[in-house]
Structure 1
Amino acid sequence: MSLKSELLKFLSRIPNTQTFAQRKALLTAVGLDNLSGQISWEGTNLVFFNELLELLSSQGQTNLVKFLRSLADRDLHLVGLEDSNKLISLAENIAALTSKEWEREFRGDNPSPATTPINRMELIKTLGKLSASEFSMLVFSLEVPANIIPSSTASPGERAFALLQWAESPTGCGLSEVEADLASLLPQ
């Protein structure tokens, strides 16, 4: 697992970060309230922390390390001792990256093949046309983590968008795998 994926997985499991108020309080506590206008507060923890990581990594290696060390600060009591130690370890690993490793790990392109906007839109349309059971089978075959896909009461478009957003995230499977599993699911 890449360092960025490991970090995202770890951050998305931090307790008390599900609501707008909790997320805002977290950023304020670590001195990042200046990002308030640049981040979307909606979505799952995975979506929220992925966006936060993208913002922080766009500001440089030092800022990401500073955020992790602030989050690990025992005086703030944002995480427990074990999580604090893990955050410090992650911060040290990130700080030790060479500039080339940093670029590849945090600024590089998603390793999955690029999908053009037209193909992506076609994929969303195709996913939106699946029956509820077909969509569930696809989600199961891709091993999508719990709470990524909205409930079956959400519109098919919302569910398709959530699936693709996860697939394109650092912990996702990539759009090519979605396309491959979809092709095997649908009759020729």
Structure 2
Amino acid sequence: MANVPSQPYVSLEDFWAAEETSETRHEWLDGIVYDMSRGSIEHGRLTAAITIELGNALKGKCTVYGPEVMLYIAETRFCTYADANVVWGPAETFRVAKLGDALTNPSVLVEVLSDSTEQYDRGEKFAHYMRMPSVREYVLVSQHERRIEVFRRPEYGRWFHEVAQAGESLTLHGEKISVDSVYANLYPPQKY
């Protein structure tokens, strides 16, 4: 997320109308619109890979959504996009007039880290995500090494942090995901 707003105060309705026809994505934070950075080819490949792995592992248990689904965090008046998200049970949404819906109850949120967004994804964006009562797991996928981190919300206290690297697996929403399977299918093969 850029540090400079792209324009002065914008209502949520005006933001949503503009976002529907925009060729780029933006975030809205209580009336301020921010440009989102573009992802690299590797970012897109890893986003697709983790989304596919989650979809296969959680098939019939949850609904997995890709990066085009907007999220609305009422607690902080924030609209954004995650690289992937999972909803357990029926999707709950926030509707802005007839402009569309934003998801409000993801249980798992995934971000593929990039040099330009890693600090934001680990800090300010995570702080927004933590305010969503439905979020149980926050997943960070590295672009520079075979490494996936999971932050888990406990019933009480501090979030737990787990790291899995090459050759290891981790549990997401009760199902095992192999780190190597997320980083597989590269052509030409790459080493991390």
TM over 0.5: no
Relative to the length of structure 1, the TM-score reads 0.27
The structure with more strand, counted as a fraction of residues: 2
CA radius of gyration, larger in: 1
Larger RCO (CA under 8 A, 6+ residues apart): 1
The structure with more helix, counted as a fraction of residues: 1
Relative to the length of structure 2, the TM-score reads 0.27
